Amino acid sequence: MKFPRSTYTSLIVVLLATLFSSAPAKADEVARKILSGWMPYYSTARSLASIETNTAYINEVMPFWYTVKYNSTSKKIRITDLYTPFVGPKGAKPSVVIDSLTALGVKAIPTITDGTDENVLSGLMANPKSRTEMVTLITALVVDNKFAGIDLDFEGFAFVDKSSTWKNTAVAWVAFVKELSASLRAKGKLLSVSTPYVFDPTAAKKGYYFYEWAKIAPYIDRLRFMAYDYSVARPGPIGPLAWAEKTIQYAVSVMPPSKVYLGLPGYVRNWITAVDGVCPANVVKVYKVNARTEHPMSWVRDNRGPLGFVPQYNEEHQEMTFNYQRQYNGQTATGLATTCTVKRTVWYQDQRALTVRAALVTKYKLGGIAMWTLGMEDENAYDGIKQVAQTLARSKVKATLEVDQSAINYGEAITLTGSLTIRENQPVKNEVVTIERYSEKNTAWESIATAITDDLGRISKTIYLGQNSKLRITTKESEFLTESESEEIDISISRLLVLSAPASIRQGESFTVTGSVHPRIEANLITLETFSNGKWIAFGAPVPTDARGEFKFVVNNTKRGVLTLRVSAAAQDLYPVTTSPQFSLLIRGPFTPELVK
């Protein structure tokens, strides 16, 4: 789509006015973390340096580490780790990298690409059995490595498979995304998809329609569309502004804008446009017309003087471009002297171009930006993105939690009270609060209840717990508020032993002690103990609880006097040894009347 230059100029004025009309973030506000991006396995150190520098603006990162492979002989699907073999035994383990991101407050959502042959992956997705196998493998990868989720980058559908297969691919793709989403959400994990551009399927130009944005929208948490690679085979803009915005307009029409992330290029693309003369043998196979290479943005700065080029800003596409040429002298393969002149055209998006595109996050209320890749930018490239993050700043939310008691018996209730406040202790009203629990059994935080704050920003909730736990309250980030998390409170739960025993018996009679353990546990060994000679000793052999957690002791041949008794339940599962309060049993003479209470 072509527009007059005056139209583009007006558009940029509107976008920049939107960007800079709001005040920067205040001390009691937090810049919205709108920046994300990919961290390739082959440049992890460079990406990590960028992440550390820009942590205040980055919420999540996609380690570009995995690819799907399929062995047609064994019929086995596997997910191949690209990172570990690349860095070798001396490189940082994946867990170390993920821990580093976590320490910076950055979520890790690794990317899986399509490493299969033509039509293989779409065929695996179309088959219910292999589709479920893939879902299981991916879910296990995410859970076992404690990733926040997974990012699917299956570009083979678009650039390897033939377009005649796309209609069938669309059906299989939607089925796969739906099944994977259910599996990941059951584990509290995120599903992100990264795709090339898609236009309205009813329009003449549909783009890569088979990614079915409208149909997968309910099942995904992130859509990162690649607003780059518009020009690949031949020189041209990397991602024209009008083309990117048209894609955004369709995306936000079929899903919440907060799910949409604008993919932007962090690289410089350099094409050969002409070769005059015959190049030396050592470069003749490399320097071909339309051959291209990518550079980090710093390449422009470092080579501007030596190569003598002067970048110009293209108003129509809102990108930087320039031409230059370089002469190469040497010898041909036969030893003859030769010279060639290689002419090149370069396009890239500098700070100004990225700033204009960052303004689209504000205009369309997008989730954010995704850079391919983090670490290729120069030192000022993200200034405009940071400005957007500051104008979209959220108020800091402070969450507090209290409990009426922190040590209880099994079956007793706990009352929680919590509050949410922002600057100057203003209450946060009508906000959904999640009550979460962490226990040894589950080894992860899980939601156990929700509540909504009242006009004073408070909640009150009565809950029951069955095991030792940590409690906290959390809230999710919204357009105006940061996410929040209270301090953790430890709750100690004691098992309950319920007993029934007589107060007195005649000498020579047997007596029975019955009881139950709560929570009910089968085959838990119970010991009846008596206090004798200054210590507790077993009074007979232990007995196991039945399926209802109940037990029974029958004791014979008792002597006259007072027995001091107690019952102990052996440690089991998540509970330590539990001992009942001591109780007394009077053994009367054979003719002494029964005590009357």
User: Predicted confidence band at 21 (pLDDT cuts at 50, 70, 90)?
Assistant: very low
Quickly list DSSP for 55-124: GGGEEEEEEEEEEEEEETTTTEEEEEESHHHHH-TTSPPHHHHHHHHHHTT-EE--EEEE-S-TTHHHHH
Going from the C-alpha of 198 to that of each of 151, 158, 241, 243, 357, the distances in angstroms are 18, 11, 15, 10, 18
Same domain, 215 and 157: yes
* 14 assigned to some structural domain: no
Question: Of 470, 494, 518, which residue constitutes the final position of a domain?
Answer: 494
Closest to 82 (Cα-Cα) out of 60, 48, 110: 110
**Count of H helices and E strands in the chain?**
13, 37
- The CA distance from 225 to 248, in Å, is 9
* Length in residues, the chain: 597
Same domain, 173 and 42: yes
Domain count, the chain: 3
Residues 6+ apart with CB under 8 A from 96: none
What average pLDDT does range 283-304 have in this prediction? 96
What average pLDDT does range 329-336 have in this prediction? 96
pLDDT of residue 8: 39
49: domain CATH number? 3.20.20.80
Share of the chain above pLDDT 70, in %: 94
**pLDDT of 97 over the 80 cut:** yes
Same domain, 446 and 476: yes
Residues 6+ apart with CB under 8 A from 576: none
**pLDDT of 2 over the 60 cut:** no
pLDDT of residue 479: 77
pLDDT of residue 594: 57
Question: Of 393, 427, 452, which residue constitutes the final position of a domain?
Answer: 393
Is residue 268 within a helix (H) or strand (E), and if so which, with residue range? strand 267-277
Same domain, 456 and 479: yes
What average pLDDT does range 123-143 have in this prediction? 98
Q: How does pLDDT run across 489-514, given as a tens digit for each residue?
A: 999 988 899 999 999 998 888 899 99
Closest to 141 (Cα-Cα) out of 107, 110, 98, 101: 110
More confidently predicted of 270 and 558 = 270
pLDDT of residue 394: 87
State the chain's mean pLDDT as an integer: 92
Whether residue 519 has a cis bond before it, omega within 30° of 0:
yes
- The CA distance from 335 to 597, in Å, is 120
Same domain, 489 and 511: no
pTM for the model stands at 0.75
Question: Of 339, 373, 393, which residue constitutes the final position of a domain?
Answer: 393
Same domain, 432 and 565: no
**pLDDT of 451 over the 80 cut:** yes
| Residue 208 lies in domain | 33-269+348-393
User: Predicted confidence band at 485 (pLDDT cuts at 50, 70, 90)?
Assistant: very high
Q: How does pLDDT run across 180-231, given as a tens digit for each residue?
A: 999 999 999 999 999 999 999 888 888 999 999 999 999 999 999 999 999 9
* 368 assigned to some structural domain: yes
* 289 assigned to some structural domain: no
CB 314 within 8 A of CB 321: yes
Upper half-sphere CA count for residue 581 (Cβ side, 13 Å)? 6
* 23 assigned to some structural domain: no
pLDDT of residue 452: 97
- DSSP letter at 126? H
Q: How does pLDDT run across 339-360, given as a tens digit for each residue?
A: 999 999 999 999 999 999 999 9
Quickly list DSSP for 165-201: GHHHHHHHHHHHHHHHHHHHHHTT-EEEEEE--B--T
Same domain, 232 and 141: yes
**pLDDT of 521 over the 60 cut:** yes
